[in-house]
C-alpha cells in the first residue's frame, strides 16, 4: 500500500494542467470527498502497527503535495489570464514603430560636421552667454570700434560686459587660448542678434564656423577647403570669392556658389544671377592670433562661417525661417534622415 501511495506522489509532482477544468478534475481525484486520500486514510486502520508511522507520513506527504500542486497551477493560470487581459494576445506581432524625424537644422548641421570631419576638423563648443573679450575684443573689435555696430547685440542689463554671443567665433577664441597649433576645428552653435523677426531673419539662428591655424597656411588652402565643402554639400563645384570686410580676417571674402537657373525657384533665390552667397571667410588677422597667445610671425590661419538655417532653407526649399522654430509637428514629420 505504501508503494502505491508513493506512485501517486510521483504522479502529483509531474502533473500539469492547461485549463481550470483539468485542475478541478485533479483536485477531486485526490482531495475530493471520494478522492484517493480519503480512501488511504480509511485504510489506516488495516495497516500493521509497525507500518502505521511510515504509512501516515506518506499519506500526509501526498496530501500536502496535492494541495500545493492545485494552488500553484491556479496561480499560474490566473497570472496568464491577467496578462492576456492587460496586454491582449502576447503572440500577436507588435504595433509598428514609426521612424522618427530629425529637425532640418540638425540634419544640415550633422551633414556639415560629417563633411569637415573627413578632412581632419574636430568639433568645439562653447557657452552661449559670453563676455565682451571673447565675443568682441579678442576678435579685433575693441570698445567703440565702429564694426561693432554691424551686429545688434543682446546685452545682460545688470552686467554690460556679459551678452548673448553674436557668432560662434567666440568658441574659436576659447579654443585657441587652450590649444596650441596646429588647430583644425569647426564650431557649430546657436547665436543671437537683436533683429526684427521676419520670413528671412530671426533673433536667434545657428552657425558653423571653421578655423585652421598652422605654419604656412595660405589663401589657396582656404579656397580648396571651401571648394571641397561646396561640392560635397551641394553637389556644385563652381564657386567664386568676392572681396569683403570682417574685422577678424584680412583679407576677407564672401563665398558664392553657382546654383544655376534651371527652375523658377532658382531665379527667385539667386535674383536671376545663378549665384548664391553661402558664407564669409578670410585669413585670420594677426592681431587675433596674438590676442589668443599664438605667434603670428610663425603661424597663419584661415576662418570661415556660414548660417545653418539659411542652408536648411535652401536645401529643403523652406519659404519661411520662422517655420524652423515653431515646432509644428506637421512640418517636422516631413524630414527623415539617418544623420
Alpha carbon distance 259, 132 (integer Å): 38
Tell me: do 111 and 172 sit in the same domain. yes
Residue 97 lies in a domain: no
How many independent structural domains does the chain possess?
Answer: 2
Tell me: do 79 and 128 sit in the same domain. no
Average pLDDT of the residues in 131-143:
89
Higher pLDDT, 209 or 52: 209
219 and 251 Cβ atoms separated by less than 8 Å: yes
Residue 236 lies in a domain: yes
Tell me: do 118 and 215 sit in the same domain. yes
Alpha carbon distance 90, 230 (integer Å): 52
Tell me: do 72 and 127 sit in the same domain. no
304 and 279 Cβ atoms separated by less than 8 Å: yes
Alpha-carbon dihedral sign for residues 155, 160, 166, 168: negative
Residue 94 lies in a domain: no
* Of the residues 87, 116, 136, the one at which a domain ends: 87
Instruction: Check whether the bond before 251 is cis (ω within 30° of 0).
Output: yes
Tell me: do 139 and 10 sit in the same domain. no
- Buried b or exposed e, range 281-298, using 16+ CB within 10 angstroms: bbbbbbbbbebbebebee
**Cα distances (Å, whole numbers) of residue 21 to 66, 174, 177:** 16, 77, 80
Tell me: do 121 and 75 sit in the same domain. no
Tell me: do 282 and 235 sit in the same domain. yes
Determine the structural domain holding residue 256 and report its residue range. 104-332
Nine cell digits for residue 71? 494552488
Which pairs count as long-range contacts for 229-232, CB under 8 Å and 24+ apart, including other chains?
229/112, 229/115, 229/116, 230/255, 230/257, 230/278, 232/115
Q: Closest by alpha carbon to 251, among 284, 226, 222, 278?
A: 284
Residue 93 lies in a domain: no
Tell me: pLDDT of 339 over 70: no
- How many residues are listed for the chain in this entry? 339
CATH number where 267 lies: 3.30.930.10
Q: What is the pLDDT of residues 201-219, one digit of tens each?
A: 888 999 999 999 999 999 9
Average pLDDT of the residues in 221-228:
96
Q: What is the DSSP letter of 326?
A: S
Residue 337 lies in a domain: no
Residue 99 lies in a domain: no
Residue 194 lies in a domain: yes
3 state SS of 283: strand
Tell me: do 146 and 242 sit in the same domain. yes
Alpha carbon distance 69, 50 (integer Å): 30
108 and 234 Cβ atoms separated by less than 8 Å: no
Nine cell digits for residue 187? 564650431
Q: What is the pLDDT of residues 235-286, one digit of tens each?
A: 888 999 999 999 999 999 999 999 888 888 778 778 889 898 999 999 999 9
Q: What is the pLDDT of residues 276-332, one digit of tens each?
A: 899 999 999 999 999 999 999 999 999 999 999 988 988 888 888 899 888 888 888
185 and 172 Cβ atoms separated by less than 8 Å: yes
Tell me: do 25 and 165 sit in the same domain. no
For residue 87, what pLDDT is reported?
56
Average pLDDT of the residues in 59-84:
76
Which pairs count as long-range contacts for 267-270, CB under 8 Å and 24+ apart, including other chains?
269/314
Tell me: do 153 and 282 sit in the same domain. yes
User: Across the chain, what does the average pLDDT equal?
Assistant: 85
- The confidence band for 80, taking pLDDT boundaries of 50, 70 and 90, is low
Residue 96 lies in a domain: no
Tell me: do 78 and 125 sit in the same domain. no
- The confidence band for 86, taking pLDDT boundaries of 50, 70 and 90, is low
Tell me: do 24 and 146 sit in the same domain. no
* Of the residues 87, 115, 147, the one at which a domain ends: 87
Q: Please state, for a pLDDT cut of 70, what percent of the chain lies above it.
A: 93
For residue 74, what pLDDT is reported?
82
Whole-model pTM: value is 0.68
Kindly give, in sequence order, each residue whose CB lies less than 8 Å from that of residue 250, ignoring residues fewer than 6 positions away. Answer: 282, 283, 285
Amino acid at each position: 500500500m505504501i508503494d502505491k501511495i508513493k506512485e501517486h506522489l510521483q504522479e502529483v509532482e509531474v502533473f500539469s494542467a492547461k485549463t481550470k477544468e483539468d485542475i478541478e478534475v485533479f483536485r477531486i481525484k485526490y482531495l475530493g470527498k471520494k478522492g484517493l486520500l480519503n480512501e488511504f486514510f480509511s485504510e489506516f486502520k488495516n495497516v500493521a502497527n509497525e507500518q502505521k508511522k511510515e504509512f501516515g507520513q506518506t499519506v500526509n506527504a501526498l496530501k500536502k503535495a496535492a494541495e500545493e500542486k492545485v494552488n500553484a497551477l491556479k496561480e499560474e493560470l490566473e497570472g496568464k489570464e491577467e496578462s492576456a487581459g492587460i496586454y491582449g494576445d502576447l503572440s500577436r506581432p507588435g504595433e509598428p514603430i514609426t521612424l522618427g524625424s530629425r529637425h532640418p537644422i540638425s540634419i544640415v548641421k550633422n551633414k556639415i560636421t560629417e563633411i569637415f570631419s573627413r578632412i581632419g576638423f574636430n568639433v568645439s563648443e562653447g557657452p552661449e552667454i559670453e563676455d565682451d573679450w571673447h565675443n568682441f575684443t579678442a576678435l579685433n573689435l575693441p570698445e567703440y570700434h565702429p564694426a561693432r555696430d554691424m551686429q545688434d547685440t543682446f546685452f545682460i542689463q545688470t552686467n554690460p560686459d556679459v551678452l548673448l554671443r553674436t557668432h560662434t567665433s567666440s568658441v574659436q577664441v576659447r579654443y585657441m587660448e587652450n590649444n596650441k597649433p596646429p588647430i583644425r576645428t569647426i564650431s557649430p552653435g546657436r547665436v543671437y542678434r537683436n533683429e526684427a523677426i521676419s520670413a528671412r531673419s530671426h533673433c536667434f539662428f545657428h552657425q558653423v564656423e571653421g578655423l585652421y591655424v598652422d605654419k604656412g597656411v595660405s589663401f589657396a588652402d582656404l579656397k580648396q577647403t571651401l571648394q571641397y565643402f561646396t561640392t560635397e554639400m551641394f553637389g556644385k563645384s563652381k564657386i567664386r570669392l568676392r572681396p569683403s570686410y570682417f574685422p577678424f580676417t584680412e583679407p576677407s571674402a564672401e563665398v558664392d556658389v553657382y546654383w544655376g537657373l534651371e527652375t523658377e525657384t532658382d531665379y527667385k533665390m539667386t535674383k536671376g544671377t545663378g549665384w548664391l552667397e553661402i558664407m564669409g571667410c578670410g585669413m585670420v588677422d594677426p592681431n587675433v592670433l596674438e590676442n589668443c597667445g599664438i605667434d603670428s610671425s610663425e603661424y597663419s590661419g584661415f576662418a570661415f562661417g556660414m548660417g545653418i538655417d539659411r542652408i536648411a532653407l535652401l536645401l529643403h526649399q523652406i519659404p519661411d525661417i520662422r517655420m524652423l522654430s515653431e515646432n509644428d509637428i506637421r512640418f517636422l514629420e516631413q524630414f527623415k534622415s539617418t544623420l
